[in-house]
Structure 1
Amino acid sequence: MSRVFFVRHATPDFNVHDDLIRPLTEDGLKSTLKVSDFLQDKKITKAYCSPYKRSIDTILDFTNKNCLEISVINDLRERKISNSWIEDFHAFARNQWEDFHFKLLEGESLKEVQDRNVQALHSILEKHPQENIVIGTHGTALGTIINYYDKSFDYNSFLRIMDLMPFIVCMEFEGINLVSIEEVIL
């Protein structure tokens, strides 16, 4: 059995609109220590992450303390909304969760996000059977992964976790088949 600890990033600085380099706030950086404490006894052997700074920084304290290299996988990134900042995120998110193919110009649909994230996850699971793995991720990306295995995870479920930063979900797998899922709120 493989165990994957998905760590949704800590609180980012939303004043920085560039997704790739958006840093954590001071409180976000402090909460990464809670992530490290939680993961410390989980016998994690591999670390993967989205290429976004806030996700890397959320697991960095843990990986540094445990001499683990973070393998960055571009397909684990958050969904691209569009090339411009949107003001009404809630309306946009509702449209996406109600229609997994909805997207803005130059953006991604949740179906596209789900397909690439799940494909990356399956590749990781196939490379590391019977291992415990940490994956630094994002709220929407993680939501689409949960939805892939549990279709009851919907817009209301997303709203419930939207402000949980950091947020950890532990999934156990036999091969690429989900066996169990557990949420951890720090």
Structure 2
Amino acid sequence: MTNVYFVRHAEPDYNVRDDFARPLTKKGKEDAKLVSSYLSDKDIHVVISSPYLRAIDTVKDFAGEVGLDIKIVDDFRERKVGNVWIEDFNSFAKKQWEDFDYKLSDGESLREVQNRNIKALNEVLRMYEGKNIVIGTHGTALSTIINYYDSTYGYDDFERMKLIMPWIVKMQVKKDRCINITKIDILNGGRSL
């Protein structure tokens, strides 16, 4: 059995519009300590992250505490919306969830994000079969992964999750089959959602 703990990043500083370099807020940095606490007894063998700063910084303290390097996997990055700042992000997100192929001319569709993330995940599962893995990730990227294994997960679920930062989703995988998905709200004592 392979256990994958996806860690959706803690609260980012939206005043920084550079998606790649957007840091965590002070609260986000404090909440990242909850991630470390939750993962401390999970016998983690490898820590992987998206290349985006907020994802790395959410798992960095934990990796340091257990003496693991963070392996960066570019394909776990968040969806590219486009080269413009979207003021009405909710309408844009809803349209993408209604049509998995919808995208701006210089952005990615949810199908493209899902394909990219699942390809990266399958590679990780091959490399670390039977291990306990942490993957620092993002809300939309993680939502498309959940949707791949559970097609009932859609826009309404994404909306409910949107403000939960950080958020942990544990997937148990046997060979190439996901047999269980547990959504964990570490801000509320680590209870399952």
User: What's the TM-score, normalizing by structure 2?
Assistant: 0.96
Q: Which amino acid aligns with 1:151?
A: S
Deviations 1:48-78 (A, max 9, x none): 1100000000000000000111110110000
Residue 162 of structure 2 aligns with which residue?
Answer: 162
CA distance in 2, matches of 1:34, 1:49: 17
Between the aligned residues of both structures, percent identity stands at: 51
- Give the Cα separation in 2 of the matches to 1:150 and 1:183: 13
Partner of 1:55: 55
Q: Displacement, 1:136?
A: 0.1
Aligned to 1:110: 110
Alignment: residue pair count: 186
The aligned residue for residue 130 of structure 1 is 130
Gaps of 5+ in 1: none
Taking structure 1 as the reference length, what is the TM-score of the superposition? 0.99
The answer to whether the aligner puts 1:148 opposite 2:148 as a matched pair is: yes
> What residue number does 2:191 align with?
none
SS of residue in 2 equivalent to 1:44: coil
Q: Which residue is equivalent to 2:99?
A: 99
SS in 2 for 1:59: helix
Q: How many Å apart are 1:131 and its aligned residue?
A: 0.3
Distance in 1, Cα, partners of 2:37 & 2:118: 27
Distance 2:62 2:176 in 1: 25
What is the deviation of 1:176?
1.8
Q: Distance in 2 between matches of 1:100 and 1:138?
A: 17
CA-CA distance at 1:6 after TM superposition: 0.1
Give the secondary structure class of the aligned counterpart of 1:23: coil
| Distance in 1, Cα, partners of 2:18 & 2:49 | 18
Name the structure 2 match of 1:72.
72
Moved over 2 A (4+): none
Q: CA deviation at 1:30?
A: 0.2
Alignment deviations for residues 52-105 of structure 1 (CA, whole Å, 9 cap, x no partner): 000000000000000111110110000000001010000000000000000012
2:41 pairs with 1:41: yes
